[in-house]
Amino acid sequence: MSIKLYNSLTNKVESFIPVDDKFVRMYNCGPTVYGRVHIGNIRSFLMADLLKRFLNLEGYQVRQAMNITDVGHMTSDSDEGEDKLQVAADKEKLDPWKIADKYKQLFIDDLNKLNIDDADVYPRATQHINEMIEVIKKLIDNGYAYVSGGNVYFDITKFPEYGKLSGNVLEKLQSQERAVYDPYKRNPQDFVLWFSHSKYKNHIMNWDSPWGEGYPGWHIECSAMALKYLTDAFNKHFDSEKSTTIDIHTGGEDNKFPHHECEIAQSEGATGQKFVNYWMHVTHLLVEGDKMSKSLNNIYTLPDILNQGYKPEAVRYVLLTTHYRQKLNFTFKNLQASQNAIDRLQELIFNLKHIGNESGDFEAEKFAEKVKDDFIKELENDLNIAGAIGVLFEAVKTINKSLTNIGQQEADILLDMLKDVDKVLGVLDFSEQAPLEKEIQELIEQRDRARDSKDFATADKIRDNLKKRGIHLIDTPEGTIWKREQ
């Protein structure tokens, strides 16, 4: 079965066929670094990580670029409003570059804590102004953009396919009449590529350009950086004929319009070829059944959650295990359930590592292959992570029932199967002594010493204390194993 993905561009589940066999170009919309990312943002980055890890497991080489927006993102999703970096800089009394440096590093720290694999490149908008200018010049030359009042605008009437991703075609936008008046625009729906004259005269982040000193609009950065890092369009200068269609572009559903729609128009206007083959959008996240909002005080960052005693792998698990096109309702009850699920898996890993039998009659090789095949088949179906998790825990149930029939060779095969599964999930610890395993093993050894010395009171106390924590000890002829009580 081939990998099938839901393509937001066609609104269909399609077979995934990369431009180049076994090589995938993937662009992910990254953060605007004016503050800490919240768990809704993080879910989008985790889904990109899940996709990349699965493609790697299936034998694809993935070239991944994730942008860092550190200029030009307006406080609204259109051209009006102040630059978010400028607003944050004024609030924290720092210059915008220091704000960007601060929150970019905190973003990378969050990714590391959540075991999100590094992208190949994290290009920053402020370091690619020249590339943006070159793409804008090409758009002017191709008749898609115009200079007016010192600013440069994209004329969406020149791009008949505008709206093919979001459904917001020109006629629909005109009928809504929501565009903010800008005397320099030919059409109210046109969008800014470059600001030389905006109503914010004290904007600190400015660069020289052929149209005057100014700064880029929000949308142009992703076009320029995607073309630079995922195609051969940039060497010393922009050469549109060397561009290549990118395989996958991901982002949150709020990015679909206007940002991704404008990316398509800019990129295809500049290169004359299809920008991206497969668009994937992650659905919004709810918190305890409500939308995240400042008024409800339910916008959580990763430190907000970790400071309450939860583990990063539990956060990763709870954000991953609902399908990316379904609304995820984040609750602390579900977060605890995720930690319990990981503990069950760590318990199994511990028991497989400490199998007392030298040999067994469990058909581990055949079983492990079937589990991996079924796990992969679920993910091949548009990243059906819930189905894949279901396959995993059915396997856990079967293995737990068969522990007394498993020898060391079979245990090693099953551990390798779990490691393959975790290449995608990224939540398990296979180190020689994972923290929970180490603590329980030390207590088991203390209990064994107490029993050997006839100190049954101490042995019983250790057993009872573990039982209070939901850990059940089982004495077998081959040694003591443990299970987490359900």
Domain ranges of the chain: 4-282, 431-486
pLDDT range class, residue 212, cuts 50, 70, 90: very high
pLDDT range class, residue 168, cuts 50, 70, 90: confident
Q: Which percentage of the chain shows pLDDT scores above 70?
A: 92
Q: Which of the pair, 181 or 155, is modelled with greater confidence? A: 155
Give the residue-averaged pLDDT of 104-117.
98
Give the residue-averaged pLDDT of 160-188.
83
pLDDT for the residue numbered 161: 96
- Is 75 a residue whose pLDDT tops 50? no
pLDDT for the residue numbered 409: 94
Q: Which two tokens stand for residue 42?
A: 């993080």
pLDDT range class, residue 200, cuts 50, 70, 90: low
Q: Which of the pair, 397 or 196, is modelled with greater confidence? A: 397
pLDDT range class, residue 95, cuts 50, 70, 90: confident
Q: Which of the pair, 435 or 149, is modelled with greater confidence? A: 149
Integer Cα distance of 376 and 133 in angstroms: 44
Q: Give per-residue pLDDT as tens, 330-361.
A: 999 999 999 999 989 998 998 899 887 778 88
Q: Give per-residue pLDDT as tens, 291-332.
A: 998 889 999 999 999 998 889 999 999 999 999 999 999 999
Q: Give per-residue pLDDT as tens, 20-69.
A: 999 999 999 999 998 899 999 999 999 999 999 999 999 999 999 999 99
pLDDT for the residue numbered 446: 87
Give CA 335 to chain center in angstroms. Answer: 18
Which of these, 141, 117, 5, lies nearest to 66 by C-alpha position? 117
- Is 392 a residue whose pLDDT tops 90? yes
pLDDT for the residue numbered 198: 66
- Reading phi first (left if > 0) and then psi (alpha if -120 to 50, else beta), residue 470 is in left
Q: Give per-residue pLDDT as tens, 433-458.
A: 555 667 777 888 889 898 889 898 88
- The annotation places the binding site at 29, 222, 259, 263, 294
Class assignment of domain 4-282? alpha beta
State the amino acid at position 225 in one-letter form: M
- The annotation places the binding site for ATP at 294
pLDDT for the residue numbered 61: 98
Give the residue-averaged pLDDT of 8-16.
98
Strand 246-252 to 215-216 pairing: unpaired
pLDDT range class, residue 365, cuts 50, 70, 90: very high
- Is 93 a residue whose pLDDT tops 80? no
Q: Which of the pair, 84 or 463, is modelled with greater confidence? A: 463
Integer Cα distance of 211 and 328 in angstroms: 45
pLDDT for the residue numbered 267: 99
Give the residue-averaged pLDDT of 232-253.
96
Q: What is the mean pLDDT of the chain?
A: 91
For tokens 């390798």, the residue is: 416
- The annotation places the binding site for Zn(2+) at 29, 222, 259, 263
Give the residue-averaged pLDDT of 111-134.
98
Integer Cα distance of 456 and 205 in angstroms: 72
> Which H, E and C letters describe the chain, residue by residue?
CCCEEEECCCCEEEECCCCECCEEEEEECCCECCCCCEHHHHHHHHHHHHHHHHHHHCCCEEEEEECEECCCCECCCCCCCCEHHHHHHHHHCCCHHHHHHHHHHHHHHHHHHCCCCCCCECCEHHHCHHHHHHHHHHHHHCCCEEEECCEEEECHHHCCCCCCCCCCCHHHHHHHCCCCCCCCCCCCCCEEEEECCCCCCCCCCCECCCCCCEEECCCHHHHHHHHHHHCCCECCCECHHHCCCEEEEEEEHHHHHHHHHHHHHHHHHHHCCCCEEEEEEECCEEECCEECCCCCCCCCEHHHHHCCCCCHHHHHHHHHCCCCCCCEEECHHHHHHHHHHHHHHHHHHHHHHCCCCCCCCCCHHHHHHHHHHHHHHHHHECCCHHHHHHHHHHHHHHHHHCHHHCCHHHHHHHHHHHHHHHHHHCCCCCCCCCHHHHHHHHHHHHHHHHHHCCCHHHHHHHHHHHHHCCEEEEEECCEEEEEECC
- Is 259 a residue whose pLDDT tops 70? yes
Q: Which of the pair, 209 or 200, is modelled with greater confidence? A: 209
Strand 191-195 to 151-154 pairing: antiparallel
- Is 197 a residue whose pLDDT tops 80? no
pLDDT for the residue numbered 77: 47
State the amino acid at position 478 in one-letter form: E
Q: Which percentage of the chain shows pLDDT scores above 90?
A: 69
Give the residue-averaged pLDDT of 408-425.
97
pLDDT range class, residue 174, cuts 50, 70, 90: confident
Q: Which of the pair, 235 or 388, is modelled with greater confidence? A: 388
Q: Which of the pair, 460 or 425, is modelled with greater confidence? A: 425
- Is 207 a residue whose pLDDT tops 70? yes
